[in-house]
Amino acid sequence: MTRIKTYLSAVAVVMGLAWSTGAQAQVLRDADYNSVGRIAGNGLVRDAHQRSIGSFEADGTVKDKAGVTRGRISKLEIFDAAGTRVGYIKTDGTVCDGESRVLGTINLNDGKVTNVDHKVLGFARGIRVDWIACYYFFDFFTPGK
């Protein structure tokens, strides 16, 4: 009986850790490592002042702060609101535009985001790579775009 209780306790702890890690917001940083926002595990995107600036929906839809659809993500491909493929992410973290031109790279180990000239754009560790690409490369959350 003690063995079963120990096993159940271990399972409960592991599930709790998995839930808390996924539910926590991950910080978006600029090139100087200053916080510029957060993306929560549920897809809510906030700026540095904790104001909502958009969201990633469970079905792949990307919305701005007004709830207007800005695009969609499907299998590491990124589409604009009209359904045109505007980019994709290769399995090594290379981000390309819709015409297969390299825009930059997301380092899959440390979350460093660089442009095609290797200039650091920011850091986004622990965030889905397609969400990082939408934030740093495709301006889905930039006001007026």
In a domain, 12, yes or no: no
- What is the chain's Cα-based Rg? 17
Asked whether 124 and 135 are in contact (CB, 8 A), the reply is: yes
In a domain, 63, yes or no: yes
CA atoms within 13 A on the CB side of 69: 13
Instruction: Give the predicted TM-score (pTM) of the model.
Output: 0.78
Residue 141's pLDDT is what? Answer: 85
The total number of structural domains in the chain stands at 1
Q: Residue 40: is it exposed, middle or buried by C-beta count within 10 angstroms (0-12/13-18/19+)?
A: middle
Does 132 score more than 80 pLDDT? yes
In a domain, 49, yes or no: yes
In a domain, 75, yes or no: yes
Element housing 134 (H / E): helix 129-136
Beta bridge pairs of residue 114: 105, 120
In a domain, 5, yes or no: no
pLDDT per residue as tens digits for the range 44-54: 999 999 999 99
In a domain, 4, yes or no: no
In a domain, 9, yes or no: no
Domain housing 95: 25-136
In a domain, 18, yes or no: no
Does 41 score more than 80 pLDDT? yes
